Structure 1
Amino acid sequence: MRTLKFGGTSVANAQNIKLVLEIVKNKAQDSQLMVVVSALSGVTDLLLEASAKAASKDNDYKLIVAEIEKKHLEAIKELIPVSDQSALLSHIKRIINHLETLLDGCFLLGELSNRTSDTILSFGELCSSYIIAEALKQQLPNSIYKDSRELIKTNNHFGKAIVNFEITNQLIADYFHVNTAQVTILPGFIASSTDGNNTTLGRGGSDYTAAIIAAGLNASHLEIWTDVNGMFTANPKIVKQAQPIEKISYQEAMELSHFGAKVLYPPTIQPVLNRNIPILIKNTFEPEAEGTYISNEINYQTNPVKGISHIDKIALLTVEGSGIIGVSGFSKRLFEALSNENINVIFITQASSEHSICIGIQNSDAENAQSAIDKAFELEISQKKIDLCTAEKNLCIVALVGENMKNHQGLSGKMFSTLGKNNVNIRAIAQGASERNISVVVNERDVKKALNTLHERFFEDNTKQLNLFVMGVGNVGEKFIDQIHQQKKFLKDNLKINVRVIALSNSRKMHFDEDGITLKEWQSALDNGEVANKESFISKVKELNYRNSIFVDITANEVVAQTYDQYLEQNIAVVTCNKIACSSVYSNYQNLKQLSRKYNAPFLFETNVGAGLPIIDTLKHLIASGDKINKINAVLSGSLNFIFNNFNENASFEDVVKEAGVQGFTEPDPKIDLSGVDVARKILILIRESGYEMDIDEIENNCFLPQECMETTNNEDFFASLKKHSSHFEGILAEAKAKDSRIKFVASFDNGKASVGLQFIPKESPFYNLEGKDNIVEFYTDRYVDQPLIIKGAGAGAAVTASGIFADVIRIGNV
């Protein structure tokens, strides 16, 4: 003998009801069934709305009644043959007429009592169950309808009546002892008091009805059929990676359902737990899926955390003061004050000093609770022994649940550190003595991030999801996206890093996809995106509030560089090849570093110097290990090295500069490279990362360009000026040949002074054979005194720069 319950989505319409009938027919082949059904989807809400409108003398309640009637009549016409519809249509119309009479009374009186409300709300289940029973009889003649009000008896606590199990169990046993029907259809949610009034069992009460019936019959199983594949490790609407839980204990299921797992109504478990009747959560729309099996078994071999759940719209009330310490009866008075106002306490925590106590309640109860508490402790408040009660709204409780958590050390630490790394502030903490539940209160805006971060930590094989917001998709940006696309599977399989590009932007368009942009089609997605706007881009990134968010700047734009602080303050990491921020005024550079540390948001800019070469990373390791940088010599411009390596009698200076631009070695404005500004920025960044304070105007820039070239305002005029002054550049080349040297643009730092400029490099120098677009850096330190530490390699180009940016992203993933 089995009890089945089908919820509102399962019986939302005729199409869904047909699926229910098919499931019932299959199940009835090998077992006698008691089938409890909810109201058609949305009907209970419509009844509540109609009640409120009638009581407030709003005639629109009649329109709602008409809508309710229409929903049921349409279901009848699709489920029942025309020849058999007449009696059922008449029955439903009689029920609707009765409903309208009650609502007319509410309208005339201008009020709605709890007793009348329960009667009105019962009509949803009364209609749906009768229609489904008649439809089932068409296919299984040995099926009957039974009114639950005749079996389940309660007190007169209207709205959420308390069941009298002694009478109820006897009525259920007596009825089903003589009932031989193959299937019995019963309405959920509704009952009647021992003196004959209609009562209800609370929202979600259809689950409870099914559990009461199952317990009364000592059924073999209770099956709850809904629209998901069981209980999940987290809310799948918020956590896309959430997985169905195969097996779970009664206690774990109760904790999860209490903390918002809406697939199961919390009181459901108690009646069947007492009889040790397993519960099976199944999906009406995927009946072959395994679902979740709830029993008294505890599996000690699996993950000790069974699920992560939450309750939103929470207010945290705090009562504190010296008058609490050591005073017996304080807690009794506090909770009594709330109980008298019928306010449910969801969360409790108290400091060990007894100086303060925090309680979590629903947002809607906050003002009433504050008033009740302040009134209860009016004397102590007037004597300044206790402060006025404070309330903080728009919070959320997040809970880790697992029966076996008590046998595993460090779970609390993992939970708190995981949230802390993502800048989720914990307002309060509670853990029961059973250690089955660890609960924290966080800001409501952080709940999505908190749930996803914790789920990633405890359920996803420790795979870390990185959410990228990329600005700048030119040559380097395009290579960067290609590299992510190519390496995505490798990173996930080998490094447990899942990289998603959530947003892309260039100077014209921007595009967001909350589930991640399909990288095969990113160009068309961006072309069809909205108009680019830096302010709205930042706002959208903040609004999404994703865990492990990374803003990737692949521009050379000063305005973009000025936005880094806004990202870091929101715990959003910044990865950039844009040198402007780190070479801006020292106070701004220092502020960005401090924000990175304060908000635990990495600020990485390896590609600021040497493209993909590990120059800054090596420098950081030297400093962290206690070494000191005393002197730096470097060729830091791959573009200038390319230009002077290829400039000869057969290639004009102007043509070589143009070719460097075509190859992607120069900035969009090549004057930035040739003027020495770009190299000055790079050596400045190395100086600052070495621990020295310096600004760019302190660096001596020995520019080799004629003044007229420097004064141009666009690329066309700049190249024209290079051509005009070709003899100047040929003279530099001739001087180098005369000295049997090669031309290099060198950056130097020594004894607190820095300079950049052209140098004629002799053959014995390690800089002489620097080919193509290569860079080289010499670090002289306390440890590397006579022979410097040398880093050498390709220092320009879209592919190597993109790989350097990608490496910074991976560094964040490995943190």
Structure 2
Amino acid sequence: MKIIKFGGKSLANGDGLKQVISILKNKHQSGEQVVVVLSARGDSTDRLENILELAKNGKSFSEEFRAFKEYQLDPCDNICLEEEFDLLERIFEGVQLLGDYSNKVKDKVLSQGELLSVKVVTILLKENGLKAELTDTRKLIITNKNHGDAQPFEAVSRKNIRDHFKKLEAGAIAVVTGFIASDQEGETTTLGRNGSNYTASLLANYLDAEEFQNYTHVNGIYTANPEWVHNAKKITHLSFQEANELANFGASILHAKTIVPLIEKNIPLRILNTFNPENEGTLISSENNGKGIKSINVINDVTLVNFEGQGLLGKVGIDARIFNSLSRENISVNIISQGSSERAIGFIIKTADAARAKETLEQEFESDIEKKDVHGITFNNEVVIISTVGQDLKTFHNAFYSLVKNDIEPILINNTLSGKNVCLVIHKKDLRKTVNVIHGEIFGISKRVNIAVFGKGLIGGTLIEQINESREKVLRRKNIDLNIFAISNSKKVLLNKDGISENWTADFDKKAINYGLEDIISYTKKHHLENLIAVDVTASEDFVYHYTDLIENGFDLVSANKIGNTIDYGFYKDLREQLRLNQKEYLYETNVGAGLPLIDTIKLLHLSGENITRIKGVFSGSLSYLFNTFSVEDISFSEVLENAISRGYTEPDPREDLCGNDVGRKLLILARELDLISEFGDISIHNLIPENLRNGEVTEFLSRIDELDDVYHEIKEKQESNHVLRYVGDLSGDLSREDGGLLEVKLESVPGDSALGQVKGSDSIFEIYTESYGEQPLVIQGAGAGAQVTARGVFGDILRLAEKNNK
């Protein structure tokens, strides 16, 4: 014999009921002998409790009750439930008249959910040609009078059940009410939390069942709630001891009292999915695989009590008074956090006990409150407990660090003496994000990094394509899931919490909406997105001033936009302070040298105490190509410039490159990396554009670029032999002083056989002079221009940031 139990979601109208009948029909046809235990269908229990509350508060309950009755009658055309409906209506009317109800009355009301459930399923089984016999456990399971959480008297309940099932007609399916029982006087009682599972477990014990199969709406027990964590993994097998551990720490499918009757008789429990009956589910048995388990469970309906009193400093016995007064009211305390001085104590209780706890504590400390020795006793219902079962505290630091990085601050934290279970009390609003963050850390399952790309132009579009092309490879090699959830231009944004598709350009045209930055921030909170990175591939100064908003709302930053590092020094320092306060990162390697590892190298040298004495080089890939080509080929300057424009090396208006401001900004960034207090106005910049061509429309300038030919032909001819032209940035002076830097951007003639002189194509080159290296500089050289190179550099920053936070 097998005990089969179906939960409320499995028994809901529609697909649920159809699946239940199909499963039972298949089991019967295959010759299995089964006893079926049922919960109330759908959300019937919640509906009944809601109607009870409406009646208690003197409100009209007729509409809610009508909807409840329609739901119960919907699956069957020929079923009569008037007896149950009449009883409920009389009770509701009486409660409305009295304005209150007892737990005894509540048990009588809630029990009707299970009674209606077994009636409906019994009729449906018969309509499908099966023998079915309704069994009301109020006649079999006898309990004490503790309404709402009654305890069975085992001897009499066991005898009743065994005697009843001996009389069961051969080949009939017993359809049994879960959750409900009766006391010795015949009054209806209920078995409390997980009551239907408890009923099934008792039947399995009393009837020496072969197996207890618990059908739910999921495929088994998971490492975390699969509705919240997209990569939660199913646990295929648990020992009873492990299952009991999970149950004690809040696993919603399990309850400790459900496990005990099964352990006594060594009866396996299998968690199965009504909607996927072919799945093998999770098996719970006496066997132990020796690997141990890890799971993240959530305990809801708890309240944080915070007890504070400066006047109690140095006094002893305060905690004893608190817990003794709660104990007298049979109020259990879960997690405790206490200062050594006893002036502040925080602890967790069930929300159902909060009102009584408040009353008893205020009575106990009435005189202390009057004397202001106790400043406050506060109750916070907006908290939950997250328990990580099987997790060593000694390795929990990674998860804790990730929580802090995601702006989640646990209110309380504790662990068991074994060190194998860690519990956190957090704000409800952070629940789903917290579960995802912890899950990614403790299971080593891929960590999702949620990316918002601001700017969908050439570099932004190239970056998006690169991420899409490399996503699977990064996931496989680094265990990091790069998820672009937002793409925006200056006016519209495309949002998808599960990630944009490969057809993102078409989706943007069809689905992008007008937005403000606050809309993207709200979207991340609504969908509990963790590990946020904002990528700025715009050239917008306005957007840079929103960096702080992003940082304060949980984003790390990656930027190809130089403006954030080159506007006024006050903003530059304030931004770093906000990064420090919020423990966020800001990476911008592509600000200087596109994809070259320049900024990281300079940061490392400077941080290590190395005295950098000079940085000089060709900072612009565009201008590098221009002068590398012009210096060695017999070609006009305007022709080289036109080639650079056609190759996409320059900005749409090439004067933005030729004016030298871009090189100046790069030089300023490097100066500030060395802690120099410098502003853009401190830079001496050689503007390559003659004054008569600096203003006007870009089209006019492009039509007149041949006017540059004579100017640069003359400069080229005046060089020494074997020299070439290079447009360089030069940071020199006493770089050990905050105000000691000399910043110059200029056109120089350098020997052709020098490091600068040998640069080819559009490469950039940087010479870093230090005290340790002496006259021999550290040279970094490579591609310095192009959307592919810059986008790849931005991608590298994203990966560095994601991998750093993944450790």
Check whether TM > 0.5. Answer: yes
Equivalent position of 2:687 in the other structure: 703
Change (3 A) 1:533 1:45: same
**2:66 counterpart of 1:66:** yes
Q: Tell me which residue corresponds to 2:507.
A: 525
Unaligned runs of 5+ in 1: 78-84
| Cα pair distance change 1:370/1:108, threshold 3 Å | closer
Cα shift readout 1:654-713 (whole Å, capped 9, x = no counterpart): 66545534433233554332221111110111112133222211111222323344344x
Match of 2:251 in 1: 261
Q: Which residue of 1 aligns with 2:55?
A: 54
Cα 1:338–1:512 change in 2 (3 A) is farther
1:157 to 120, 126, 146: 146
Shift in alpha-carbon separation, 1:116–1:529, aligned structure 2, 3 A: same
Aligned to 2:731, which of 745, 749, 770?
Answer: 749
Q: Which residue of 2 aligns with 1:374?
A: 362
The AA in structure 2 aligned to 1:217 is L
1:502 aligned counterpart, secondary structure: strand
Match of 1:805 in 2: 794
Q: Aligned with 2:577: secondary structure?
A: helix
Match of 1:81 in 2: none
Residue 716 (structure 2) pairs with residue 736 (structure 1)? yes
Counterpart Cα distance in 2 of 1:480 and 1:793: 19
Correspondence for 2:40:
39
Deviating more after overlay: 580-589 vs 114-123: 114-123
Aligned to 2:586: 603
2:215 matches 1:235: no
Q: State the aligned residue count.
A: 791
User: Closer, same or farther in 2 for the Cα pair 1:731/1:715, shift >3 Å?
Assistant: closer
Asked if 1 retains the 8 angstrom alpha-carbon contact of 2:393 and 2:419, the reply is no
Residue 663 of structure 1: aligned partner: 647
2:20 alignment counterpart: 20
1:458 to 442, 449, 465: 442
Structure 1 Cα separation of the partners of residues 303 and 113 of structure 2: 33
Quote the offset at 1:305 in angstroms: 4.1
Q: Secondary structure at the match of 2:148?
A: coil
For 2:779, the aligned partner's letter is: I
Determine if contact 1:255/1:437 at 8 Å carries over to the other structure.
no
Deviations 1:755-811 (A, max 9, x none): 112223343432223233221111111122111111111111000001101111111
1:161 aligned counterpart, secondary structure: coil
1:593, 1:717 → 2: CA distance? 42
1:378-527 to structure 2, matched below 5 A, reads 378-382=366-370, 386-402=374-390, 410-461=394-445, 463-518=446-501, 520-527=502-509
Partners of 1:420 and 1:305 in 2: CA distance? 25
- C-alpha displacement of 1:125: 1.3
Does the alignment pair 1:272 with 2:262?
A: yes
Q: CA deviation at 1:47?
A: 1.9
Conserved 8 A contact 2:309-2:376: no
Give, in whole Å, the separation in 2 of the partners of 1:296 and 1:659: 76
What are the Cα deviations for residues 579-636 of structure 1, in whole angstroms up to 9, with x where unaligned? 0001122232233333334433221100000111111122123223331210111111
2:222 partner SS = coil
1:112 — aligned with what? 101
**Superposed CA offset, 1:633-666 (max 9, x none):** 1111112223334559987656654553443323
Q: In 2, Cα distance between the equivalents of 1:288 and 1:483? A: 40
Secondary structure at 1:389 match in 2: strand
SS of the aligned residue for 2:280 comes to coil
Shift of 1:477: 1.2
- How do residues 568-607 of structure 1 correspond to structure 2 at under 5 angstroms? 568-607=551-590
- 1:457-504 C-alpha deviation (Å, 9 max, x unpaired): 22244x332211111111111211121122222212222222111111
Alignment check: 8 A CA contact 1:374 1:388 kept:
no
Q: Is the 8 Å Cα contact of residues 384 and 426 (structure 2) preserved in structure 1? A: yes
Partners of 1:169 and 1:327 lie apart in 2 by 53
Q: Does 1:222 align with 2:212?
A: yes
Q: Does 1:76 align with 2:71?
A: no
Q: Are 1:205 and 1:265, in contact at CA under 8 Å, matched by a contact in 2?
A: no
Distance, in Å, in 1 between the alignment partners of 2:290 and 2:402 is 24
Does the 8 Å CA contact 1:44/1:121 hold for their aligned counterparts?
A: yes
Q: Paired residue for 2:737?
A: none
> Deviation at 1:265?
4.6
Cα distance, 1:386–1:8 mapped onto 2, change above 3 Å? same
TM-aligned CA distance change 1:767 to 1:466, over 3 Å: same
Percent identity, please: 36
Quickly say closer, same or farther: Cα 1:739–1:658, change in 2 above 3 A: closer
Amino acid at match of 1:663: R
After TM superposition, the score normalised by the length of structure 1 is: 0.90
Residue aligned with 2:234, SS: coil
The residue identity in structure 1 corresponding to 2:44 is V
Between 800-809 and 332-341, the greater mean CA deviation after superposition: 332-341
Task: Give the C-alpha shift of residue 545 in structure 1.
Answer: 4.9
What's the TM-score, normalizing by structure 2?
0.91
Change (3 A) 1:395 1:409: closer
Cα separation, 2, equivalents of 1:357 and 1:104 = 45
Q: Which of 548, 553, 556 is the matching residue for 2:531?
A: 548
Q: Is the CA contact (8 Å cut-off) linking 2:247 and 2:254 kept in structure 1?
A: yes
Distance in 1 separating the partners of 2:300 and 2:659: 58
User: CA 1:744 to 1:393, structure 2 compared with 1: closer, same or farther past 3 Å?
Assistant: farther
Does the C-alpha gap of structure 1 residues 466 and 738 become closer, same or farther in structure 2, counting only changes over 3 Å? Answer: same
1:169 matched residue in structure 2:
158
Distance 1:770 1:315 in 2: 68
Kept in 2: contact 1:469–1:541 (CA 8 A): no
Distance in 2 (alpha carbons) for counterparts of 1:220 and 1:201 = 24
- Cα 1:411–1:365 shift into 2, 3 Å: same
- Following superposition, the deviation at residue 227 of structure 1 comes to 0.8
Contact 1:632 1:748 (8 Å CA) reproduced: yes
Match of 1:430, as an amino acid? Answer: N
Map 1:76-95 → 2, pairs under 5 A = 76-77=76-77, 85=78, 89-90=79-80, 92-95=81-84
Letter matched to residue 223 of structure 2: T
Residue in structure 2 matching 1:124, options 80, 96, 113: 113
Are the structure 2 counterparts of residues 448 and 655 from structure 1 closer, same or farther at C-alpha, using a change threshold of 3 Å?
Answer: farther
Query: 2 CA distance for matches of 1:324 and 1:220?
Result: 59
Structure 1 pair 661–564 and aligned structure 2 pair: CA distance change class (3 A): farther
Alpha-carbon RMSD across the aligned residues, in angstroms, is 2.9
1:97/1:359 Cα in 2 relative to 1: closer, same or farther (>3 Å)?
same
**Which ranges in structure 2 are unaligned for 5 or more consecutive residues?**
734-740
Paired letter, 1:795: G
Closer, same or farther: CA 257–708 of 1 in aligned 2, 3 Å: farther
CA 1:437 to 1:801, structure 2 compared with 1: closer, same or farther past 3 Å? same
Q: Distance in 2 between matches of 1:68 and 1:321?
A: 49
Deviation, 1:370, is: 4.2
Letter matched to residue 338 of structure 2: Q
Q: Which residue type is aligned with residue 686 of structure 1? A: L
* Structure 2 match to 1:201: 191
After superposition, the Cα gap between the structure-2 partners of 1:107 and 1:799, relative to the gap in structure 1 and judged at 3 Å, is: same
How many Å separate the matches in 1 of 2:590 and 2:725? 24
